């Protein structure tokens, strides 16, 4: 039984991070890639947003949470550290990478208006990071994840 709990505690951050980033990237694809910018191939935009960013950053974020946060610290500290980790990886590193790559590929309009491209994603990563930490590390959050089968 204790072995299953440990396994669940290490698998859950990866799965939930993957779901969060993929859903966030879907919204970013729809807003930046389709609504705001008509440049570039839609297939390339889907591969970039959902494949590289959604899956890649979700798995990376889940791994970082497992490596540095799971099984350590108290509940409040875990939520804060998850928010910081999410903000640093998604809100700053991923945004910076995306904006620099977009200067070359011109898929999302990041080169034309960097602030419009950066700020909403940065704010979303802070909110998403807090929600992710709350779901992963609180009793109510764990209950919700249990109820939906995660």
Strand ranges inside the chain, DSSP E: none
Q: What is the pLDDT of residues 8-39, one digit of tens each?
A: 899 999 999 999 999 999 999 999 889 888 78
Other Cβ atoms within 10 Å of 140 Cβ, number: 9
Whether the predicted model's global pTM rises above the 0.75 cut: yes
Are the beta carbons of 20 and 59 closer than 8 angstroms? Answer: no
Give residue 110's pLDDT.
Answer: 79
Distances from the Cα of 37 to the Cα of 65, 81, 124, angstroms:
33, 34, 20
DSSP assignment of 6-46 equals HHHHHHHHHHHHHHHHHHHHHHHIIIIIIII---S-HHHHH
């Amino acid at each position: 039984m204790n072995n299953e709990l440990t396994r669940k505690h290490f698998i859950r951050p990866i799965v939930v991070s993957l779901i969060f980033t993929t859903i966030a990237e879907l919204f970013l694809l729809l807003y930046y890639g389709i609504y705001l910018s008509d440049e570039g191939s839609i297939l390339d935009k889907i591969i970039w947003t959902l494949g590289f960013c959604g899956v890649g950053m979700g798995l990376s974020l889940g791994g970082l949470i497992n490596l540095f946060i799971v099984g350590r610290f108290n509940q409040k500290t875990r939520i804060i550290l998850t928010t910081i980790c999410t903000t640093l990886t998604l809100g700053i590193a991923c945004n910076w990478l995306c904006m620099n790559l977009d200067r070359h590929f011109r898929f999302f309009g990041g080169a034309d208006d960097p602030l419009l491209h950066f700020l909403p994603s940065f704010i979303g990563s802070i909110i998403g990071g807090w929600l992710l930490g709350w779901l992963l590390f609180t009793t109510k959050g764990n209950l919700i994840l249990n109820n939906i089968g995660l």
